[in-house]
Structures are given as C-alpha cells and as structure tokens.
C-alpha cells in the first residue's frame, strides 16, 4: 500500500513537471501517455480508498437486512400456511352448500367470489395478528407507569464484545437495561440479559392489582440471528409483596416456558391473593441450555385493578 501511494505521488509530480517542460513532439506524446495512465490509476485508488472507509457501515447494514430477511421469510411461511387452510375451509363450505342444479356460469361466478372472500379473510386474519394477541391489560407496562426496582434486580450480563469504540479502542460497555422487558418492542437482540441461568427482577406495577396471570414473550428460532433460542428462560416463579415492594414474599406460582410452543405464552397463577399488590418479583430458575447468560424479552402481569393507594 505504501509503495502504491509513493508511486502515485511520483506520477503526480512528474505530471506537473511534464506539463511545464518542453520536449520534442514524439517524446511529449510518450510522456503524456504515461502521465494520463498515472492519473487514472491515482483516481481509481482514491475511489477504492473511499469504499474501504464505508466498509464497517455496509457490514452493519448487511446484518440488519439479514435479520429483516429472516423475519420476512417467517411471515411469508405463516401467510402461505394460512392461505392454504383458509382455501380448504372455504372449499369445504362451498361444496357443502353448492346447488346441484347450478349451471357452469353460476359456478364460475361463485369461484370468483370465493377467491375474493379468501383475500378478505387473509387480510382480516393478518390485521388480527398485528393486534395484541393477549387482549388483557398489562400492568407491568413501562409506558403505563410500571418500573424496575434495580436494588432488587440481578446485575446485567457484561459482554466484552458489546462496547462502544473510538478509533478502534473500546471505552464503554453497553447492554440493554432491565426495563426493556416492560416494553412491547420485541426484536432480536432487544432483551435483558443476566449472567448464568438464574436471575430475578423486582417490578413495581403501574397500579395495585390482584394478579391473576402472567405472560412471557420470546423470539422464535426462525428470526434468531444465532438460529437457536437456548438463552430463553425455562423454569420461572412469581412472588408478590403485601407491603409495598419489600418484606415477606408471597408465592404466586411456578411455571415452565416451552420454547417449542407459541412465542407468547400466558400462565394463570396457581395461588390467589385477596389483597392488592403493587410489586412482584420474577425469578428465573433455569434456561434452555445457554452456559453464559439468559435473555428475557418481555414480561407482562395481568389482573384485576385494586384500590389506588
């Protein structure tokens, strides 16, 4: 690289010298050709150097596009399965109700209507998929006023690769904060990670409630950049506090998140309480095999609103 730069600088200097020096006609043509070649090589190297400066940005954009492509493939697969099921269902209804004496023209019109109805059904189901699947109020939602009490929450996982860099020198670790689990934005990497397979989070709810169920959400293997979700929580339990956010813990239930089932899983509490609770503690007891950390994407708490105090 140094040799090429020196060669280009010499060529540029000679180009300036050649233009000022008088030579015989044939010599001037020869030197002009060399100068033009050096100039072209210099400009080509400059364009190549500009592309290298943008290499890191292109790598990041490529990774983002790959993640989006995985998610699109997963959605396309779901849509194709849904279309096939809807078409079979609609064909069954059509065959059952079709008049045996209908002529061919009426049958053709019926087929056209069937295709239109299938399209409407697909759009309706897709609209429903975009809506919240649980259809229950989430009292652990950050935007509604819930929060993480960090004094009662496990430390976040420190990843040496997750650093901000300046001129190639890492100077600041960064990781997703625990309250990311109280937000609805569930995308690969946007999770709270803690070391090992056991951890806990103390959550102050948006208001006092009598809890009845909880929901855990994780990404699927199909959209995971690593191709697996072994860092997903497996066994977990829930506790409540009768006196604000401290004191004696009240056991509410122990559950298992099945990574091969739906990404969003709701669990009804095994033990009811008669008093309203303001704080709950989520305890993760194991994960699905990751040796270094556990990743929690979203946690929700459902129940019946209590008093406002």
**Is residue 299 classed as helix, strand or coil in its secondary structure?**
strand
DSSP conformation class of 233? B
- Cα separation, 1 vs 207, whole angstroms: 65
Q: What pLDDT is attached to residue 127?
A: 62
Tokens of 127: 């609209």
List the Cα angle 269/129/213 in 5-degree steps.
5
What single string gives the DSSP state of each residue in 108-168? HHHHHHHHHHHHHHHHHHHHHHHS-SS-S--TT-GGGT-EE-GGGSPPPP--TTSEEEETT
Runs of H (alpha helix) within the chain: 2-20, 25-53, 55-97, 104-130
pLDDT class of 13 with cuts at 50, 70, 90: low
Condensed to tens digits (0 to 9), the pLDDT of residues 152-161 reads: 999 999 876 5
Quote the mean pLDDT of the chain.
76
Mean predicted confidence (pLDDT) in 137-145: 95
pTM above threshold 0.75: no
Mean predicted confidence (pLDDT) in 221-239: 94
Q: Which residues of 192-228 are buried (b: 16+ CB within 10 A; e: fewer)?
A: bbbeebbbbbbbbbbbbbbbebbbbbbbbbebbeeee
Report strand pairing: 246-256 vs 169-173. Answer: unpaired
Q: What pLDDT is attached to residue 158?
A: 84
pLDDT class of 40 with cuts at 50, 70, 90: low
Nearest Cα residue to 251 out of 266, 262, 239, 265: 239
Whether the per-residue pLDDT at 303 is higher than 70: the answer is yes
Lowest mean pLDDT among 48-52, 158-162, 211-215, 226-230: 48-52
Whether the per-residue pLDDT at 28 is higher than 60: the answer is no
- Cα separation, 256 vs 287, whole angstroms: 10
**Is residue 214 classed as helix, strand or coil in its secondary structure?**
strand
pLDDT class of 23 with cuts at 50, 70, 90: very low
148: phi then psi, degrees, rounded to nearest 5: -95, 130
Q: What pLDDT is attached to residue 132?
A: 65
269: phi then psi, degrees, rounded to nearest 5: -65, 145
- Cα separation, 248 vs 66, whole angstroms: 48
């Amino acid at each position: 690289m140094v040799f090429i730069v020196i060669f280009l600088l010499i060529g540029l200097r000679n180009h300036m010298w050649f233009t000022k020096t008088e030579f015989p006609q044939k010599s001037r043509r020869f030197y002009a050709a060399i100068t033009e070649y050096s100039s072209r090589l210099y400009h080509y190297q400059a364009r190549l150097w500009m592309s290298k400066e943008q290499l890191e940005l292109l790598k990041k954009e490529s990774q983002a596009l790959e993640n989006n492509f995985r998610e699109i493939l997963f959605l396309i697969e779901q849509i194709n399965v849904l279309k096939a099921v809807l078409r079979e269902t609609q064909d069954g209804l059509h065959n059952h109700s079709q008049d045996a004496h209908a002529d061919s023209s009426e049958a053709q019109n019926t087929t056209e209507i069937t295709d239109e109805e299938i399209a409407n059904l697909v759009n309706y189901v897709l609209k429903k998929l975009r809506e919240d699947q649980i259809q229950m109020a989430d009292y652990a939602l950050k935007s509604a006023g819930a929060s993480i009490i960090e004094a009662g929450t496990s430390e976040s996982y420190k990843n040496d690769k997750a650093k901000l860099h300046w001129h190639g020198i890492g100077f600041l670790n960064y990781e997703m904060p625990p309250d990311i689990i109280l937000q609805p934005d569930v995308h690969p990497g946007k999770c709270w990670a803690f070391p090992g397979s056991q951890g806990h989070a103390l959550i102050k709810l948006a208001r006092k409630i009598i809890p009845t169920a909880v929901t855990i959400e994780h990404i699927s293997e199909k959209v995971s950049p690593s191709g697996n979700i072994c860092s997903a929580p497996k066994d977990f339990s829930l506790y409540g506090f009768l006196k604000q956010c401290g004191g004696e813990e009240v056991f509410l239930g122990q559950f298992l998140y099945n990574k091969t089932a739906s990404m969003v899983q709701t669990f009804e509490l095994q033990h009811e309480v008669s008093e309203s609770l303001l704080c709950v503690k989520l305890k993760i007891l194991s994960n699905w095999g990751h040796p270094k950390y556990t990743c929690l994407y979203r946690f929700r708490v459902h129940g019946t609103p209590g008093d406002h105090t």
